[in-house]
Amino acid sequence: MARRKKIYEGKAKTLYEGPEPGTIVQYFKDDATAFNAEKKDVIEGKGVLNNLLSEYFMLGLGQVGVPTHFLKRLNMREQLVRSCEIVPLEVIVRNYAAGTMSKRLGIAEGTQLPRPIVEYCYKDDSLGDPLVTEEHIAAFGWASQQDMDDILSLALRVNDFLSGIMYGVGIKLIDFKIEIGRIYDGDFQRLVVADEISPDSCRLWDIKTEQKLDKDVFRRDLGSLTDAYSEVARRLGLMPNNPASITKPTLIN
Ligand code: CDP
């Protein structure tokens, strides 16, 4: 069988040409990186969990009318997505202070913000994805004013959806990052939520204990990353509650 053509290898995913024109296969790796890849490890099972979780969030978003690039999950580690041109921005939505916002503004981690705050970073690893303003985005032509209106609306809709889903399973959505893709239909373009939505790109805290269930577990050496991600998947009903209770298939005579 001919090997698929690799299009791009990123830190956590590899992209291959899809079976139809305009499609891409996203392969979720077990590689974990933090601090712009200064810290690296291979965490067995992370790719499988992120594939499952991202599918769950993208499908849910589609069901409430938020367009995404997701088409279908193919297997444990791969999903089929629509190919799109990625807007070179990381769109971050914050409900509580944490991470770089806490450092920059001296606000204690976990402080609830007066309202969701949306930030934009220019996607460039060599620069460490710097924070930029809408002035930079307009002046350098990374996105038009119409795009920015649509991106803000998409980001806030994703925030409402994800916050609600997570709240329902006892998890606080502290912040998250999404990426936006452009899909061209003839002369028209549509903006869709692209890349992935997983605990790699969100901060998720248990509501009662404030236990971290996201990539900070890896960044800050707080324990097992797969245990944390499995807990999120389990609460969302994506994993059996008690794996020990799964019995072998019984042969029917
Ligand atoms: O994560 P870090 O402290 O470096 O940056 P942040 O600006 O506080 O990140 C805000 C949110 O965006 C967190 O949920 C990060 O996991 C996510 N993020 C990401 O997924 N990828 C990046 N390159 C930067 C942030």
The amino acid occupying position 60 is: G
90 and 70 in a single domain? The answer is: no
CA–CA separation, 196 and 78 (whole Å): 12
Q: Whose CA is nearest to atom 9 of ligand 1?
A: 99
Give the CATH number, domain containing residue 40: 3.30.200.20
Distance 124 CA to ligand 1 centre (A): 14
What SS3 class is residue 93? strand
Rounded to the nearest 10°, the torsion over CA 232, 162, 23, 192 is -160
CA distances in angstroms from 210 to 16, 172, 206, 236, 245, listed in the order given: 38, 8, 5, 18, 29
CA–CA separation, 171 and 67 (whole Å): 24
101 and 200 in a single domain? The answer is: yes
Low-confidence ranges of the chain (pLDDT < 70): 1-2, 241-247, 253
Q: Which of 102, 118, 177, 205 to mutate to test the pocket of ligand 1 (most atoms within 8 A of CB)?
A: 177
At residue 197's C-alpha, the angle toward residues 51 and 9, to 5°, is 65
155 and 109 in a single domain? The answer is: yes
pTM metric for this prediction: 0.94
53 and 92 in a single domain? The answer is: no
Closest-lying ligand 1 atom to the alpha carbon of residue 102: 8
pLDDT of residue 185: 87
Distance 64 CA to ligand 1 centre (A): 25
CA distances in angstroms from 248 to 62, 215, 242, 245, 251, listed in the order given: 35, 33, 14, 10, 9
Residue whose C-alpha is closest to residue 172's, from 113, 230, 242: 113
Q: Which of 39, 53, 91, 100 to mutate to test the pocket of ligand 1 (most atoms within 8 A of CB)?
A: 100
140 and 49 in a single domain? The answer is: no
Question: Does residue 249 lie within any of the structural domains?
Answer: no
28 and 92 in a single domain? The answer is: no
Question: Does residue 35 lie within any of the structural domains?
Answer: yes
Mean pLDDT of the chain: 95
167 and 133 in a single domain? The answer is: yes
The domain containing residue 10 runs over which residues? 6-84+225-235
The amino acid occupying position 247 is: T
Q: Is 177 in the pocket of ligand 1 (CB under 6 A)?
A: yes
Q: Is 100 in the pocket of ligand 1 (CB under 6 A)?
A: yes
Question: Does residue 67 lie within any of the structural domains?
Answer: yes
Question: Does residue 1 lie within any of the structural domains?
Answer: no
Query: Could you give the number of structural domains in the chain?
Result: 2
CA–CA separation, 227 and 246 (whole Å): 19
174 and 118 in a single domain? The answer is: yes
pLDDT of residue 73: 98
